[in-house]
Amino acid sequence: MLHSRPHFFHTILQHNKNTKKRNPAERPSTPDFCLFFVIHLPLDNIFKVQFISTSIHSLKRIGMFRFIGLIAAVLFFYGCQSQSSDSQSSPHSPSSPSAPVNESRPLIVIRINYDNVQFQNDAYTWSKKIFGYSEHELNHYYQEISSGHFKFIKAYENEGTANDGIITVKLDKNHPDSGSEPTIHPDFFQALTKADSFINYNLYDKNGDGNITPDELIIMFLIAGNEDAFTGLTNDLGVWAHQSCTLSANTPLLDNVSLIGCAFGGKYAVFGERHHFGNYDADATIGIIAHELGHAAFGLPDLYDTSGQSAGIGYFGLMAGGMWAQEDPNDLFGNTPVHMSAWSKIHNHWIIADTVSDSSLQQVELTQTSSANYNVIKLPINSHEYFLLENRNPSGYDKGLFSLNGTFNGGLAIWHIDQDVIDRYAASNQVNANKSHKGVDLEEANKAEIDYDQNAFGHADNLYYYGNKANFTPLTSPNSNSYDRSSSGVGVANISYPGETMSAVVTNPNREF
């Protein structure tokens, strides 16, 4: 069963990263001699055109040209490129996407008090943190990262303040101090049973099959006491945040429906109330909650390295270290979790990538993640591999990328996706557990760390931008080869300075599969 066990200190997620890719590539044949060019526009308005040969010939650098030289260069480029009849997009624009999915999902939060520990803050505080639309509240976060396509809605209940989405119960026992499941499962059984007098679970059985699944109602437990995932240690009166399901002995049947049972597609997510370490003591922040609900609500895998060999994607996504991000040194850990990766958003149907599948040169623009006009570019490699491009600018919740190294000015993220790896290992939660061949891999432009150091956050210079590294081709390091080391022919060049909108020139001879 999929359940997450991330912890905070020193990245304290175990992640996994690749040394650098290459896997089976089935792509149309391309000429032995293909050209990529990089156009830089200095202040004096002179175009510098750099030609790079990917043949066995040595690199050739062809100096400075004015505009007429650029025209000739482009014509030469066209003569060299493969003109594949499989291209599915026009020469000058990416293929048109279909519409993303809009969704509202009911969520019930069951708070559990014990004889020896009770909540420090009231139900109103937690209802606002989970369902509120102000900065650093969960719905505000999900509205931004989904480009307005997703939100949680309060389940109907009549405990305390009716219909605030919160039910508080007390169990007549001490805190189990168990760290994780399954020893805490009997408490969930009891809590759901006690909450039954305040909620009609059957109301959410949309398909009438007698089982409540996360697409019908998300069940979240909030436990009085500490959150062990914050420190990576087993605290006094602590539980380790995770999502999972229960075996039959702890699967309640209430209102004629089964709840949270593995056998019936049920799930739950659970969190400790407090983040505590030394003098640091605060209510749990939204990062860890958003991360575990990423599992429970959307079936997303962890993108840190669950084998502990590397850092996966580091702090560049919610489903890895980015759940603990902060926008400045005074921010609470996990108060400003970064955006999900482009792949996660596509998986959730919040964004449809614009596919460039044409050997001609195309200039593309990418808008920052926090914008309503946020977009992603997809560059197919073969039937199961592709690159995704997105603009990660310090805006909205991506201000949390400040956590990388205390400064962050933005840049272009280039993701290498292998869908075969994802499909094969998602169920066992090992998508990024092979550091030399990940399912979701960040191409680190410079200062590569997350492939090799499990405690690495990542670095601002892992992103591409003018002034750092502005080209990504079969000849750069890292390169655009497939995992089997064959040349993909993909080129991303002339990458702009960071900003709300970034631009690049791309070419891709591979058709969309």
Angle at 311 between CA 307 and CA 314, to 5 degrees: 140
> For residue 16, what are its two tokens?
């996994």
The helix/strand/coil state of 346 is helix
**Cβ neighbour number for residue 427 with a 10 Å cutoff:** 12
| Distance separating alpha carbons of residues 361 and 347, to the nearest angstrom | 28
Question: pLDDT, tens digit, for every residue of 331-351?
Answer: 999 999 999 999 999 999 999
Which residue type, as a one-letter code, is found at position 313? I
pTM of the full structure:
0.83
SS3 letters across 284-343: CCHHHHHHHHHHHHHCCCCCCCCCCCECCCCCCCCCCHHHHCCCCCCCCCCCCCCCCCHH
**pLDDT value at position 315?**
98
| Distance separating alpha carbons of residues 428 and 412, to the nearest angstrom | 30
Task: Please tell me the number of Cα atoms within 13 Å of 476 on its side-chain side.
Answer: 23
User: Residue 33 class from Cβ within 10 Å (0-12 exposed, 13-18 middle, 19+ buried)?
Assistant: exposed
The helix/strand/coil state of 481 is coil
| C-alpha distance from residue 102 to each of 139, 147, 513 (Å) | 14, 10, 26
The helix/strand/coil state of 398 is helix
| C-alpha distance from residue 428 to each of 3, 83, 86, 232 (Å) | 9, 41, 36, 21
Q: Residue 322: which of 313, 309, 331, 332 has the closest Cα?
A: 313
Question: pLDDT, tens digit, for every residue of 253-263?
Answer: 999 999 999 99
Write out residues in the chain with pLDDT < 70, as ranges.
Answer: 1-98, 179-180
Beta strands 238-239 and 501-507, pairing class: unpaired
**pLDDT value at position 179?**
64
- Residue spans per domain, the chain: 35-80, 103-310
| Distance separating alpha carbons of residues 458 and 442, to the nearest angstrom | 10
| C-alpha distance from residue 304 to each of 14, 294, 405 (Å) | 6, 14, 18
**pLDDT value at position 470?**
98
Q: Residue 377: which of 358, 394, 404 has the closest Cα?
A: 358
Task: Give the position of tokens 């079969």.
Answer: 474
Hey, CA dihedral for 470, 475, 478, 480, is it positive or negative?
positive
244, containing H or E segment: strand 242-244
